[in-house]
Amino acid sequence: MSSIKSALLGALAAASLGAQAFAADVTLRVAHLNPADPFASHSGAMAAVFKSPVESSSNGAIEVQLFPNGQFGKDNEVADQVRAGIVESTISSSGGMARHCPLVGVFDIPFALPDIGVADGQMNPAPIIAFARCDEVQT
């Protein structure tokens, strides 16, 4: 009886070691407020489009875990979690991020830009770089 237990434990240990060899080296947690269904929300679509190529192009070395529906909290709470290293990324509104980086709030000024074409032209690397360095910017 003990030899059967030993064999089962050995097989279980071997199986678990094999499973660990295929585990991702890096896990990226991405949180957003909207439904996970890519056809129901822009955030769900962006998350799905991000997850698939990252995981496939890394050959399983990177796992992307999605946390939709505000599972980690509201925009400003998730941004705090990104800063704390609890979550690696978030898909957030400009209003939600303006608390952490007031420069982003400019995109919420009503009628500041006349149409979507002008708005699209304004989204060049400069605002993105400013946002990335938000802690360095004095407002």
> Strand locations in the chain, DSSP E?
26-32, 62-67, 89-91
CA separation for the pair 132, 90 (Å, rounded) = 14
The answer to whether 43 and 51 are in contact (CB under 8 A) is no
Q: Who wins on pLDDT, 20 or 92?
A: 92
Q: Who wins on pLDDT, 113 or 78?
A: 78
Report, as an integer, the average pLDDT of 115-134: 65
Q: List CB contacts of 112: < 8 A, sequence separation 6 or more.
A: 106
Quickly state the pLDDT bin for 136 (edges 50, 70, 90).
Answer: low
pLDDT at 125 exceeding the cut of 80? no
| Amino acid 10: pLDDT | 41
Report, as an integer, the average pLDDT of 73-79: 89
Q: pLDDT tens-digit profile of 20-42?
A: 445 779 999 999 999 999 999 99
Q: Which three-class secondary structure state does DSSP give residue 121?
A: helix
Q: Are strands 89-91 and 26-32 parallel, antiparallel or unpaired?
A: parallel
| CB crowding 28-48: b at 16 or more within 10 Å, else e | bbbbbbbebeeeebebbeebb
| Amino acid 124: pLDDT | 61
The burial of 80, by beta-carbon neighbours within 10 Å (0-12 exposed, 13-18 middle, 19 or more buried), is given as middle
| Amino acid 127: pLDDT | 53
| Amino acid 130: pLDDT | 55
